[in-house]
Structure 1
Amino acid sequence: MKKLLLIILVFSWTIEAAWAQKRWSLADCVAYAIDHNLPIKRQDILVAIKNLDQEMARRERLPAVGGYFNGYSTFGHSQDVFGTIRRNDNFNSNMGINAEVTLYQYNYLRNQAKKATLQSEQEELEKGILKRDLTLKVVQSYLEVLLSQALVQAQDSAINFSLQLLDKAEKSTAIGASAPAVVFEAKANLAREKQQFQQYHKEAQQAKLTLAQYMNYTDYHTLIVDDPVLEAEVFKMEINRSTSDLIPAAFENNPVLAKLENQLLEFEVEAKLIKAADYPMVKGSASLGTTYFNAFKVPNERLFFVQTKDNFAQQIAVAVTVPIFNKGKTKRQLQQLNLRKKEIGLLGDHEKQQQVQILEKLQLDWVESKQQYEISTEAFAATQESLAYSKLSFMAGKASIYDINTSKNNLIKSESEMIRARYNSLFSLLMLHYQVSGDIKFSNHIH
C-alpha cells in the first residue's frame, strides 16, 4: 500500500512539474481561456436550456393525451319536479382517456417551433461573441507579455554591458590610469540600469498576471509564454488588399452581425405568431370513457364492472374559436415589432460602421508600425556599430566613460523602440487577420 501511494505521489509531482514547465503558445492560451471561462460555461447551460425549449416547442404539435377518474357521492333530501320530497343518496363515477390536438391556428405551433430554433441559435451566437471578446483580450495580453519579456532581456544585456564597464573602470583606476570618478560614474550607471530592469520586470509580471486572469489560470508564476512560430508566421504575411476588399469577409465572420440577422429572422416569425390571434383556432378532441351510478338501497342494482361495461362510450368533438375583437392588441404588437426591426437595423449599421473603423485603424497601424520597425532596425544596427567603436576607443583610453554611456543609452533607446515597433506591427497584423478571418491561426489567408 505504501509503495502504491509513493508511486501516485511521484506521478502527481511529475505531471505537476511537466505542467509548470509547459511553454504556452498563443493558441494554447486562447484554448485554455475558453475552456475555463465561467461566462462561457454559463452560456453552454443557456444553450442547453434553449435546446430543450426547442424540443418542447416541436412536440406541441403532438396530441395531448390524459386519463381521468372522478367519483362523488350525494347524501340528503331533494325535491323533484312534481314537488315530492324524497331521500337522494347516490354514488357517481366516470373514468376514461381523452386526447386533444390543435388542428388549425394559422401555423401557430409550427412558427412557435421555428422561433424556439432561432432563439437556440441566438444563444450559440452569444457564446461566439463571448469567445471573440475573450480571444481579443487574451491575444492583446499575450503580446504584451512577449513585449515586456523582450524589454527585460534587452535590459539584462544592458546590465551585463555596464558590469563590464565597471570592471574595466575599477581595473583602470587601480593602476592609476583613470580617476576614481570613472568608477563612481560606472556604478551610478549600473544602478540606473538595474532600476530600469526592475521596472521592466514589474511590467512583465503585471502583464503575465493579467493574461493568467483572463485565462483563469491559478499560478501566473509558472506561466511560461513562448511562441516563436507565431512571429515567424505573422511576419511572412503581406496584405495587399484594401480595406474595402476585406470588409465582406469581416462582416461574414462577425458574430454580433450574425446575431442581429438572426434576431430579424425571429421577428419575422414573431409577426406570424402575433397575426395568428386574428385567425380562428380549431381544436379536435376524442375520448373513451365509462360511467357508473349507484342509488343506495335500490334493489337489483347492477354491479360496478357490469354497469361500466354497458355505459362505455366514445366521443369525437371539434371546437372552433373565432376571434372577434381584441381591442386592437394585434395591430399595436405588430407596430412594436416593426419598431424593434428598425432598432436592430440601426444596431447592425452601427456594428458595421465600427467594424470598418477597426479595420481601417488596424491596417493603418500595421503599415506605419511595419515602416517604423524597418527604420528602427536600421537605426539599431547603426547605433550598435557606433557603440562598438566607442567601446574600442574607451579601451584605448581615447574616449571617456561618459561618451560610451551616451552611446550605450542611445543603443538601449534604439533597441527599445525597435522592440515596441516589432510587437506593435505583430499585434496590428494579427488583429487584422483575426477580424477578417475569425481565426488566430494563419490557415485562412487574407492577403
Structure 2
Amino acid sequence: MLYQQLVGYGAIPTKILPSIKNRRKLSLPLVYFWPVMRLSQIAGIFLFYCLLANITPAVAQDTWSLQRCVDYAMKNSISVKQQEVQKRLSELTYQQSRLSIIPNFSANVNAGYSDGRIASIQDNAYINQSIFNASGQFNMSGDIFNWFSKRNTIEANRLDAESNSFLLQKARNDLAFNVATSFLQILLKNEQLKVNEVQVKQTMSNLENTRKLVIAGSVPESNQADLEAQLAQDSTNLVTARNDVILSILQIKAYLNLSFDIPFAPEIPANISSLPITPLSEMDPEMVYSAALASYPLAKSDGLRIKSAMSAYRSAKGQLYPALTIGGGLSTSYANNYYDPMTKKLISFGQQIDNTFNKNIGLGLRIPIFNGYQQRTNVTKAKLNVYNLELTRDQDNLKLRQDIYTAHANAVAALQKYNASATGVMAAQKAYDFATKRFNLGLMNTIDYITTQTKLYKAQIDKVSAQYDYIFKMKLLEFYRDQKISL
C-alpha cells in the first residue's frame, strides 16, 4: 500500500532525499506551469507517475502498537532517565542522613623520625641522636540531645525522596501521553493521506472522461485544461500529505529515542471509530478534577514537598537551642629514646604502649549565643520556603483545574464540530454526485464542477481532522482522570 511505502521512506531519511530531489526536478516545473502549458493526458499521467513511481516497495516489517511504543519510550527516554537520576540522588541523601545519628568514630596513627641535637630525656643536656617515635589515637563523638534536629532532617529527606518518586511517575505519565498523542497524529495524517489519494484518483478519472468528450467535440478544450490544473494542485496536496506522515513518524521516534534509520510501521486500527472512548456525559469537569487530585503525581509531590519543608523548618529551629554531646578517646605512643631512669635501658615497645596508654570521656554542652543571626536567618528562610511551596501547590492545582475545564470545553466543541462536519460531508458528497452526472452530460462547466469537487475534498479533510480532534480531547480528559491513556 502507498502508506506502507511512505512509512518505509519515513524510516530511512537518507534514502528518501535523492528520490525527492529527483522527483522535484521532474514535478515542480509541471506543477507551476501546468495551466500555461495546457498539458495533455499523457503529461498528466506522467506527473502522477513522477509523484508515485519512485517509491520503492516497502520492506516487510513488524508493526509498532501504542503499548509497544510506550514500553520502549519508558526504557529509552532521556527525560525519564534524568528523573530517575534525581530520584536516586534524593534516596542517597536520605540514606546518608539516617546514618548521621550514629556516633562519629575516627582513628589516626602518626610516626616520625628525627636526627640532630636535642635535649636528652635523662639530664636535659643537648646531644646528637636519632629518634623514631609513633603514636595512635581513637576518638568518638556523638549527639545525645539536639532538639530532634537530626531526626527532622531525616524526615525531611525521606519525604523529599518520596516526592521525587512521584515526579518520576509524572515524567513517565507525561511521556506516555505525548507518545499516544504523537501516535494519534500519525493516524490522522494517514487518514488525510488516504483522502488525498482518493482526490487525485477522482481528478484523474474526470480528466480521462473529459479528454474523451473533448475528442468527441462535446465540451471545449478549456475543460480539459482546467482539470489538468486541478490535478496538479491535487498532486501537490498529495506530496504534502505524504511528507506530513513522514514528519509525524519522525516526531514519535524522537519521543521513543529511536534511531531515525530504524524502520517504523505503526499499527493502524481497522476502524478509528471503534476506539473505546468514555462518553462526554460521564466527564463532568469537576468530577474529573476531584479524581485527578487523588491520582495526579504532581499534586502528591507538592503535598510531600510541603511536609518535607515543614520538617526542615523544625530542624532549623532545633539549631537555636543548646545541644548535649558526648565524646571520648584512647591514645598511646612510643619513642626509641625513652629509657628507664633506674636501669638506663630502653623501655620495650610493649611496655611503652602500656605506660602511655590514655583513656578519656566527657560531655559537652554546645550553646549558641551569637553567630551573626545566621541560624535565625536559616529558620526564617525555612519558614518562607514552606509558604512558597504552598503557593506552588495552589498554583499547580489551579492550572490543573483550568486545564481540565479547558479540555472539557474543547471536547464539547470538538464533538459539535465533528457532527457538523459529518453532515457537511454527506451534503457535499450528494452535491458532488449530482454535479458529476451533470458534468458528464455537458450541463456544468469545469470551474463549477471543480469547485464542487474541492468542497467535497475540504469537507472530508475537515471531518477526519474533527474526528481525531475529538478523540484527542476525550483521551486528554481520560488522562487527567485516570493518569493513563489507551487506544
Q: Normalization by structure 1: what TM-score? A: 0.83
Q: Counterpart amino acid of 1:416?
A: I
Output the CA distance in 2 between the equivalents of 1:20 and 1:38: 30
Output the CA distance in 1 between the equivalents of 2:336 and 2:71: 74
Q: Counterpart amino acid of 2:486?
A: K
* Contact in 1 for aligned 2:138/2:329 (Cα 8 Å): yes
Q: Percent identity?
A: 19
Output the CA distance in 2 between the equivalents of 1:408 and 1:300: 120
For the residue of structure 2 that corresponds to 1:24, the secondary structure is: coil
Output the CA distance in 2 between the equivalents of 1:270 and 1:403: 76
Q: 2:215 aligns to what?
A: 174
Deviations 1:39-71 (A, max 9, x none): 322232232232222222111222333333234
* Contact in 2 for aligned 1:231/1:426 (Cα 8 Å): no
For the residue of structure 1 that corresponds to 2:147, the secondary structure is: coil
Q: 1:203 aligns to what?
A: 244
Output the CA distance in 1 between the equivalents of 2:474 and 2:167: 26
- Structure 2 residue 128 is the aligned partner of structure 1 residue 86: no
Q: 1:310 to 1:144 in 2, by over 3 A?
A: same
- Structure 2 residue 145 is the aligned partner of structure 1 residue 104: yes
Q: 1:332 aligns to what?
A: 377
- Structure 2 residue 412 is the aligned partner of structure 1 residue 371: no
Q: 1:420 aligns to what?
A: 465
Output the CA distance in 2 between the equivalents of 1:245 and 1:235: 17
Residue among 384, 394, 401 paired with 1:356: 401
* Contact in 1 for aligned 2:143/2:325 (Cα 8 Å): yes
Output the CA distance in 2 between the equivalents of 1:316 and 1:441: 66
Output the CA distance in 1 between the equivalents of 2:124 and 2:174: 83
Q: 1:391 aligns to what?
A: 436
Q: Counterpart amino acid of 1:114?
A: E
Q: 1:48 to 1:287 in 2, by over 3 A?
A: same
The 5 A counterparts of 1:30-429 are: 30-71=70-111, 76=117, 86-87=125-126, 93-219=134-260, 222-228=263-269, 232-235=274-277, 237-292=279-334, 295=337, 299-429=344-474
How many residue pairs match? The answer is: 423
Alpha-carbon shift at residue 120 of structure 1 (Å) = 2.2
Q: Counterpart amino acid of 1:100?
A: S
Output the CA distance in 2 between the equivalents of 1:221 and 1:198: 23
Output the CA distance in 2 between the equivalents of 1:390 and 1:220: 47
* Contact in 2 for aligned 1:209/1:220 (Cα 8 Å): no
Q: 2:63 aligns to what?
A: 23
Alpha-carbon shift at residue 176 of structure 1 (Å) = 3.1
Deviates more, 1:431-440 or 1:344-353: 344-353
Alpha-carbon shift at residue 133 of structure 1 (Å) = 4.3
Q: Counterpart amino acid of 2:143?
A: T
Deviates more, 1:270-279 or 1:125-134: 125-134
Deviates more, 1:356-365 or 1:100-109: 100-109
Output the CA distance in 2 between the equivalents of 1:137 and 1:377: 28
Q: Counterpart amino acid of 2:83?
A: Q
Q: 2:42 aligns to what?
A: none
Deviates more, 1:27-36 or 1:225-234: 225-234
Output the CA distance in 2 between the equivalents of 1:384 and 1:44: 54
Alpha-carbon shift at residue 366 of structure 1 (Å) = 0.7
Q: 1:433 aligns to what?
A: 478
Deviations 1:13-57 (A, max 9, x none): xxxxx9973333333333333332223222322322322222221
Alpha-carbon shift at residue 435 of structure 1 (Å) = 1.9
* Contact in 2 for aligned 1:394/1:401 (Cα 8 Å): yes
Q: Counterpart amino acid of 1:183?
A: Q
For the residue of structure 2 that corresponds to 1:302, the secondary structure is: coil
5+ residue gaps in structure 2?
1-57
Q: Counterpart amino acid of 2:351?
A: V
Alpha-carbon shift at residue 221 of structure 1 (Å) = 8.1
* Contact in 2 for aligned 1:26/1:227 (Cα 8 Å): no
* Contact in 2 for aligned 1:234/1:429 (Cα 8 Å): no
Deviates more, 1:144-153 or 1:155-164: 144-153
Deviations 1:64-97 (A, max 9, x none): 33333234577645599xxx86348776543353
For the residue of structure 2 that corresponds to 1:23, the secondary structure is: coil
* Contact in 2 for aligned 1:69/1:94 (Cα 8 Å): yes
Output the CA distance in 2 between the equivalents of 1:400 and 1:105: 95
Q: Counterpart amino acid of 1:385?
A: K
Alpha-carbon shift at residue 147 of structure 1 (Å) = 1.9
Output the CA distance in 2 between the equivalents of 1:180 and 1:279: 101
Alpha-carbon shift at residue 198 of structure 1 (Å) = 2.0
Q: 1:230 to 1:432 in 2, by over 3 A?
A: farther
Output the CA distance in 2 between the equivalents of 1:102 and 1:141: 56
Q: 1:120 to 1:285 in 2, by over 3 A?
A: same
5+ residue gaps in structure 1?
1-17, 443-447
Alpha-carbon shift at residue 145 of structure 1 (Å) = 2.6
* Contact in 1 for aligned 2:277/2:475 (Cα 8 Å): no
* Contact in 1 for aligned 2:325/2:364 (Cα 8 Å): yes
Deviates more, 1:290-299 or 1:38-47: 290-299
Q: CA RMSD of the aligned region, Å?
A: 3.1
Output the CA distance in 1 between the equivalents of 2:257 and 2:302: 30
* Contact in 1 for aligned 2:278/2:478 (Cα 8 Å): no
Q: 1:231 to 1:106 in 2, by over 3 A?
A: farther
Deviates more, 1:220-229 or 1:210-219: 220-229
Output the CA distance in 2 between the equivalents of 1:296 and 1:409: 111
* Contact in 1 for aligned 2:329/2:360 (Cα 8 Å): yes
Output the CA distance in 2 between the equivalents of 1:138 and 1:233: 17
